[in-house]
């Protein structure tokens, strides 16, 4: 089991028995999609063609693919149309990948379009679960999408610095190490 798979399994501890979830286009969210229990009746909102394809054969899932502009070389759909769709939506939990997580700057992305989509996802979600490899912790990228006060849970891998995890937890979210 690789790091993303372990993080995805840990993140699923927050999965509701029914309701709506959002999976972004991150590799971590793809792993969450792959591990979704087959018996759950969920609405899954995503901006990822990879996630949509993976889940398209699951009869108990209602799949909602957000429209917009397909980023070149990616499976991510971003842009004004995708953000508008999220403004009109509500999800119980958003599972989002992060390229950077710091107590001072919150969650960030190396890509502004991805960060803009994730900002809209945070606004549409009752709860936010961030999935970030330990190498993302302590790093800040130019495109911030959430303060740690906006985040309920940060899931990372076993390489995470314990002191940094304490600082992140002190800023608001619980932390899970997978």
CATH of the domain at 60: 3.40.50.1360
- Tens digits of residue pLDDT in 1-18: 688 999 999 999 989 989
Phi, psi of 145 (to 5 degrees): -130, -10
**Residue-range definition of the domain harbouring residue 39:** 3-177
Q: Which two tokens stand for residue 129?
A: 């679960």
Q: Which of 137, 136, 164, 133 is nearest to 5 (CA)?
A: 133
pLDDT at 1: 65
Mean pLDDT is lowest, of 72-81, 102-111, 126-135, 140-149, for 72-81
Q: Which of 83, 45, 92 is nearest to 64 (CA)?
A: 45
State the pLDDT confidence band at 45, using cuts at 50, 70 and 90. very high
How many domains is the chain built from?
1
pLDDT at 26: 95
Task: Taking residues 62-84, report their average pLDDT.
Answer: 90
More confident residue, 72 or 45: 45
Taking the model in full, what pTM does it have?
Answer: 0.96
* Mean pLDDT across the chain: 95
Tell me the C-alpha distance between 131 and 23, whole Å. Answer: 11
């Amino acid at each position: 089991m690789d790091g993303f798979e372990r993080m995805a399994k840990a993140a699923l501890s927050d999965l509701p028995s029914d309701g709506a979830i959002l999976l972004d286009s991150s590799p971590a969210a793809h792993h969450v999609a792959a591990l979704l229990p087959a018996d759950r009746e969920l609405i899954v909102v995503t901006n990822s063609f990879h996630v949509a394809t993976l889940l398209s054969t699951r009869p108990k899932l209602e799949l909602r693919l957000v429209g917009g502009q397909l980023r070149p070389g990616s499976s991510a759909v971003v842009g004004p149309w995708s953000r508008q769709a999220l403004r009109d939506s509500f999800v119980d939990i958003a599972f989002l990948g992060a390229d950077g997580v710091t107590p001072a700057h919150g969650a960030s992305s190396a890509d502004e379009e991805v960060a803009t989509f994730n900002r809209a996802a945070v606004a549409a979600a009752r709860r936010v679960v961030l999935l970030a490899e330990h190498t993302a912790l302590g790093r800040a990228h130019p495109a911030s999408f959430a303060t740690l006060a906006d985040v309920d849970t940060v899931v990372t891998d076993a390489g995470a610095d314990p002191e940094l995890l304490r600082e992140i937890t002190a800023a608001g979210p619980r932390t899970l190490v997978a």
